[in-house]
Chains A and B, each alone.
Chain A
Amino acid sequence: MDDLPIVIDNGSYEIKFGVSNSRIPFRAINAIAKDKYNTVYLSNQIKGIKDISSVNFRRPYELGQLTSWELESAIWDYCFYNPEEFDGFQLEDTSKKHLVISETCLSLPEFSRNIDHIIFEEYNYGSIYKSPVAGFIPFADLTKDVISISGKADDDDDDNNAKFQEQLVTNDLNTYISSEEPSVTKTAEYKDFQLIIDSGFNCTWIIPVIKGIPYYKAIKKMDIGGRFLTGLLKETLSFRHYNVTDETILVNNIKEKCLFVAPKSYAESFKLKNKTAVEYVLPDFHTTFMGYIKDNSKTKLPDNAQLITLKDELFSVTETIFHPEISRILKPGIIETIIESLSMLPEVIRPLMVNNIVCIGGNFNLPNFSKRLTSELQRQLPTDWTTHVYIPKIDAELFGWKAMAQFSDTDSYRKARITREEYMEHGVEWCTKHRFGYQNWI
């Protein structure tokens, strides 16, 4: 019965799913949408919308909490019984299948119970293991496709990137030891101490994970995620250029294609704003539906093309992550949030945690985000602590799924999953209170 588990990272923006031995997961938009002609689109059908103006979204998640199974089950069906869209993938006899799934950190207990309930009784899985994404990250392979950034500089050369030494990780603690003397210590299945920064669609989480378990007392959250950044970009563009408050898809695309984080400081980037300016060609719905960045070397634009020139917008919106006050939000920024989380940890492990930070989630695809974070954080810490950040080379939004897939190949996993029989015996309340929910650890 032990065939490969199905792995689902059930994000509020996008579901990442697939068999655990796949290199990358399938992805499905976790929403339905309605265009201005009142046609409704399900999940990835949204990508086929031609007239993208005035498209409205509805998601199974509200503020990161999975509230609507009516909608989520329709989207899951689209994912699991739709081989035409997902390269032949489909679920067959689920009663013999194992499932590894993520859930929002600090889900309401009721929502947490609902997930187990649905998985066992609507989708009939044979076993389940569930955790916030951060709980899987210690199992991730940090030696492949991961960049590591140190906050300690070789300050000597004052060149562009003097502040950072960037290298592929080859010498983290575990692999170092095992390669030197393989007989003495066996490579551990997971890293003991990590500080996970998960910046996704809904918000940004700071989650210390100790021996594979989120340390709930010190978990902190900042209400700035991908959805907020798109909203703020909408407001900024609407004040300066055209009213785009109803253009979610367009603005989200501009965000993904053009925005970056000021690498050193806002002031520095502001001085260079004309150099880094971008001209974005807006959709005319004949030659382009989504718009694109103007490329001066390429062919001429159509005669009536509408352009917007983006300068400081490109980095002022993302600067809100560090300085929420610039968008009139009186909340702490990401550095203050991390420091608060650290201050809730036992003092002795604080330097260890800042030395083992892992950044995941789609917002870390923003150029310079992790570098800036590293240097800003280092500046606030005692000089003999070293900030050390691991960041996926590409596709930061997929890293969680990959870690989950790696976890599903460990003995820890095989011991921890809950079988259908256990569920039937103990019931849904038990799963949340004694196994998967935060209540088990608080």
Chain B
Amino acid sequence: MRGVEEINLKTYDPNVYFTSQLETTRRVSKQNSSNVSTSRSIKRVNYSLADLENKLYQTNETTQASTGDNTYNKNIITSDDPTTDSSLYMGRYNQNEVIISNYRCMQLDLENTNNQGDLPSLLSSITNTPRDQIESITNSISNNTNTLKRNNITIDIPKNIQLSYKSTKPIKPTHAKQKRNSNRHIALKKVLNAKRSLYSYVEGLDMINKKIIFMNTYNKRYFKLLYNLNICSICGNYKNISSCVSCGDKICSLNCFNTHNETRCSKR
């Protein structure tokens, strides 16, 4: 069964979308069992795609917000507009927990694990959290765990790297109408030689674009639809899970708890 239905080929207009979604009481996060009984009583409407498109792209912010009918799901759509990333989780996790989670996520996300770079600065610029706050929280953790040896390896681009293969690049300039010292040329060299890291660019962004790129793309408020899955940090089991009182890691049995105590417990 397809969601798009009843296309009459004789009268089909590619600019019209047929839908049976009229009921405004529908909620996405409820378990589907509650919806079964309502699924038969369906009114059918067709919408002009051209109108929809206009609404989508040409109206201003406020009318756009109202097209997304707020009865859709009150749990999900909220009117608050969080200014910092961390308020996203408020009510469920405290700010320290959120910072630790974000930091851990970034650490795991490093391609060169032992090459940490300046994670606190980057995290600070992206989430609008003060850098010292991030540092003090994350330092207090890493003091207790075995600190990895961190050798921040830098990889410079070797001069004449093009000699490492048979380059056929023509000798510049091929289109040398441009003056060597023109503003354009200088700007081009500046782009080509830039050595700044992402953090410094993000710092230079205005608040509006920063929000668009780094904040609005995340869920506005913490909500969970799937059940909470806990697995043992030692053996992967998903049953009889409890937490280590000292560090919070998930454990399933006495055996695993002992292993945890001997090796992984960060508060031992």
Contact = CB atoms under 8 A, between A and B. Distances in A.
A380 B82 CA distance: 26
B237 A192 contact: no
6 contacts: A45-B164, A118-B191, A184-B9, A323-B228, A325-B228, A384-B39
B187 to A, nearest CB: 7
Nearest to A33: B155
Contacts of B24: 347
B201 A108 contact: yes
B105 interface: yes
B238 A270 contact: yes
A185 B9 CA distance: 9
B62 interface: no
Interface in A67-113: 67-71, 73-74, 77-78, 80-85, 90, 93, 95, 106, 108-111
A351 B197 contact: no
B179 to A, nearest CB: 12
Interface in B24-49: 24, 26, 28-29, 32, 35-36, 39, 42, 47, 49
B268 to A, nearest CB: 15
B105 A329 contact: yes
A77 B263 CA distance: 48
Given A227-B109, A347-B69, A332 B223 contact: yes
B224 A215 contact: no
B56 A117 contact: no
Nearest to B201: A108
Given A346-B55, A383-B32, A70 B229 contact: no
Contacts of A277: none
B255 interface: no
A261 to B, nearest CB: 14
B98 A330 contact: yes
Interface string B106-130: 0111111111000000100010000
B166 A84 contact: yes
B76 interface: yes
A177 B187 contact: no
A343 B3 contact: no
Contact of A221 (B19, B39, B196, B217): B217
Interface in A22-48: 32-34, 40, 42, 45
Given A177-B12, A355-B2, A343 B153 contact: no
Interface residues of B, number: 109
A82 B168 contact: yes
Closest 4 A-B residue pairs measured CB to CB?
Answer: A312-B236, A355-B3, A81-B169, A62-B198
Interface string A194-227: 0000000000000000110101110111010101
A124 interface: yes
A311 B111 contact: no
Contacts, number: 300
B236 A322 contact: no
Contacts of A69: 191-192, 194
B83 interface: no
A352 B237 CA distance: 39
Interface string B190-225: 011111111001100100010011000111101111
Interface residues of A, number: 126
B155 A56 contact: yes
B4 interface: yes
Contacts of A188: 14
B46 to A, nearest CB: 10
A191 B4 CA distance: 13
B109 A346 contact: no
A51 interface: no
Given A121-B178, A223-B109, 16 more contacts: A33-B155, A42-B161, A62-B198, A65-B201, A70-B157, A71-B157, A78-B167, A180-B9, A220-B218, A266-B229, A270-B237, A331-B218, A339-B29, A346-B55, A346-B56, A355-B2
Contacts of B209: 108-109
B195 A70 contact: yes
B97 interface: yes
A245 B113 contact: yes
Contacts of B67: 346-347
Contacts of B167: 77-78, 81-82
B7 interface: yes
Contacts of B110: 227, 231
A130 interface: no
Contact of B153 (A34, A67, A326, A384): A34
Contacts of A352: 3-4, 17, 19
B77 A348 contact: no
B220 A340 contact: yes
A348 B165 CA distance: 55
A250 B216 CA distance: 36
A347 B101 contact: no
A319 interface: yes
B254 interface: no
B4 A383 contact: no
Given A335-B226, A343-B68, A347-B69, A68 B28 contact: no
A22 to B, nearest CB: 19
Interface in B133-151: 148
Given A219-B217, A332-B219, A32 B157 contact: yes
